[in-house]
């Protein structure tokens, strides 16, 4: 009939990164399209899903595990990333230490996650450009070196959040 088949794919995605970089806020923006300044911190991990349309015939459902950044939950994270197909490793562009923590998580993923995992390094709080401590060039160069995607977003304004998830979906193995 000249119509192409509809494609549907489902992927597990995990968020990792230092506490307070905005992981929960990014998920909240993506799933609910809203932002609150006073989010309670995640205990252990939170699970949410969101479905997006990639093109006219492709729909992707993300099963999202938002992990807590605190040290005391660190050993639990592997339970969430072990069988994830995608990971968002988040840092805060205004906090130098948060990029070091992101580097730690990327190493962990490369050692322990499945070899085909799509990893995106994500600099959050793009709305705080005037307080920026980590340049876009520095983070982009680091991501390029490791063959990772790089995105800068703002959970607060919503800028680039959906694009970031969409770009990840496009890197995932969508069957024909």
Tell how far CA 89 is from the center of its chain. 6
Helix (H) or strand (E) holding 111: helix 96-112
Torsion, Cα 156 56 167 132, to 10 degrees, reads -30
Single residue of 31, 54, 128, 174 touching ligand GDP by CB under 6 A: 128
Q: E strands within 125-172?
A: 149-152
Using the rule CB under 6 A, is 98 a contact of ligand GDP?
A: no
Question: Which is nearer to ligand GDP, 159 or 170 (by Cβ)?
Answer: 159
Question: Which is nearer to ligand GDP, 155 or 172 (by Cβ)?
Answer: 155
Tell which positions 20-49 bind ligand GDP, by CB under 6 A: 20-25, 37, 39, 41-42
Shortest CB 32 distance to ligand GDP, Å: 13
Single residue of 121, 155, 164, 172 touching ligand GDP by CB under 6 A: 155
Tokens coding 106: 């990327």
Question: Which is nearer to ligand GDP, 128 or 170 (by Cβ)?
Answer: 128
Using the rule CB under 6 A, is 85 a contact of ligand GDP?
A: no
d(CA 130, CA 128): 6
By CB under 6 A, the count of residues binding ligand GDP is 20
Shortest CB 34 distance to ligand GDP, Å: 12
d(CA 62, CA 59): 10
Shortest CB 53 distance to ligand GDP, Å: 24
Report the SS3 class of residue 84: coil
d(CA 21, CA 18): 6
Give the chain's end-to-end CA distance (angstroms, integer): 18
Residues that bind ligand GDP (CB under 6 A): 17, 19-25, 37, 39, 41-42, 69, 124-125, 127-128, 154-156
């Amino acid at each position: 009939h000249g119509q192409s088949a509809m494609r549907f794919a489902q992927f597990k995605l995990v968020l990792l990164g230092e506490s307070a970089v905005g992981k929960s806020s990014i998920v909240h923006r993506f799933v609910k399209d809203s932002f609150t300044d006073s989010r309670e911190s995640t205990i252990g991990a939170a699970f949410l899903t969101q479905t997006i349309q990639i093109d006219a015939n492709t729909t992707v459902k993300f099963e999202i595990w938002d992990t807590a950044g605190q040290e005391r939950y660190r050993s639990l994270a592997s339970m969430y990333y072990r069988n994830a197909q995608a990971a968002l490793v988040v840092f805060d562009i205004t906090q130098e230490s948060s990029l070091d923590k992101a580097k730690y998580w990327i190493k962990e993923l490369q050692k322990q996650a499945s070899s085909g995992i799509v990893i995106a390094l994500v600099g959050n709080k793009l709305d705080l450009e005037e307080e920026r401590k980590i340049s876009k060039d520095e983070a982009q160069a680091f991501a390029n070196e490791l063959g990772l995607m790089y995105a800068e977003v703002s959970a607060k304004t919503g800028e680039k959040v959906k694009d970031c998830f969409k770009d990840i979906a496009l890197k995932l193995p969508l069957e024909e």
